[in-house]
Amino acid sequence: MKISIITVVYNRAATIERAIRSVLGQSYTNIEYIIVDGASKDGTTAIIQQYKDRVHTIVCEKDNGMYDALNKGIRLATGDVVGILHADDEFANDQVLATIASRFTANVEVEAVYGDVGFVRKDQDDKIVRYYSSAIFKTKLFTWGFMPAHPTFFCYRRFFETFGYYRTDLQIAADFDLLLRFLRKHQLYAVYIPEMLVKMNMGGKSTNGLSSTLRINKEIKQILKDHQLPSSYVRLYARYFVKVWEFGRRKK
């Protein structure tokens, strides 16, 4: 089974090498690695070029945002299964892709997998400050704004071709829309992996202060309306009580 990993990046010279090395250091070797760089101006491109002999496809051109770049990468992918690794993030250990592959090969009915993420602060990637577990996820929780940890979501490539790619009219919540479509609307058979698969840097698009909080909830509410699902801002903001609790958790 070939797994395609997509990394999209723009001006992340401080973190892109860590992400690249995280992919290339995996024990699982049947990997296709695709990097889509939005024509970075801070030295990111030069760092990527240092690994050109080990990265299968490198695209360096302007795009229309992160989700447009992700769609480019997925359309270039030739693997059986597709997953993403953001330029600020890294896999939790070198066995992550082997673990993911084993879940697909152990049961032919499995169509997607997801797991947990640990949030870290810049230059402190050994200290988990927030732990997001996908264990509680049920598809009915989409109407409350909950979803599995998107950076840990892997599924067969054919589902993007069948059910559609990331919406590019959304700035911050297209991942919510895609997971809602794949897991609730089309009911993919997904398996939860009860371990931390990805370490995420705090301060990304979805965790970057009040403005991102307001924006993501506005977009989620619109997504639910588009799918004719019930929701309200009361429901969406209520989930932040759970998020506060996550800061008290640590990986066991």
Q: What is the pLDDT of residues 11-33, one digit of tens each?
A: 999 999 999 999 999 999 999 99
Question: Considering just the CA atoms, what is the radius of gyration of the chain in Å?
Answer: 17
Q: Which of 5-14, 76-85, 239-248 has the lowest mean pLDDT?
A: 239-248
pLDDT digit string, tens, across residues 56-96? 999 999 999 999 999 999 999 999 999 999 999 999 999 99
Percent of the chain whose predicted confidence (pLDDT) is above 70: 92
Q: What value does the mean pLDDT of the chain take?
A: 92
Q: Tell me the pairing of strands 154-156 and 81-84.
A: antiparallel
Q: What would the pLDDT profile of 164-204 be if each residue is shown by its tens digit?
A: 999 999 999 999 999 999 999 999 999 999 999 999 998 65
- Please state the domain count of the chain: 1
Interatomic CA distance for residues 203 and 101, integer angstroms: 30
Domain assignment present for 195: yes
**Residue at 251 is within a domain:** no
The sign one gets for the Cα dihedral 208, 12, 27, 107 is positive
Using a pLDDT cut of 90, give the percent of the chain over it. Answer: 81
Contact 71, 166 (CB under 8 A): yes
CATH number of the domain encompassing residue 209: 3.90.550.10
Q: Which of 149, 196, 155, 159 is nearest to 1 (CA)?
A: 155
Is residue 252 in a domain? no
Place of tokens 């979805």: 206
- Domain range for residue 20? 3-246
Enumerate the H helices of the chain as residue ranges.
16-24, 44-49, 66-76, 96-106, 158-163, 174-179, 209-226, 233-238, 240-246
- Note whether residue 222 is domain-resident: yes
CA distance 204 to 197: 18
Instruction: Report the C-alpha gap between 212 and 228 in whole angstroms.
Output: 24
The helix/strand/coil state of 39 is: coil
Is residue 111 exposed (0-12), middle (13-18) or buried (19+ Cβ within 10 Å)? buried
Q: Judge whether 201 lies within some domain.
A: yes
DSSP secondary structure, 186-218, as one string = S---EEEEEEEEEEEETTSGGGSHHHHHHHHHH
The residues, ordered by sequence, that sit 6+ positions from 121 with a Cβ below 8 Å of its Cβ are 127, 129, 201, 202
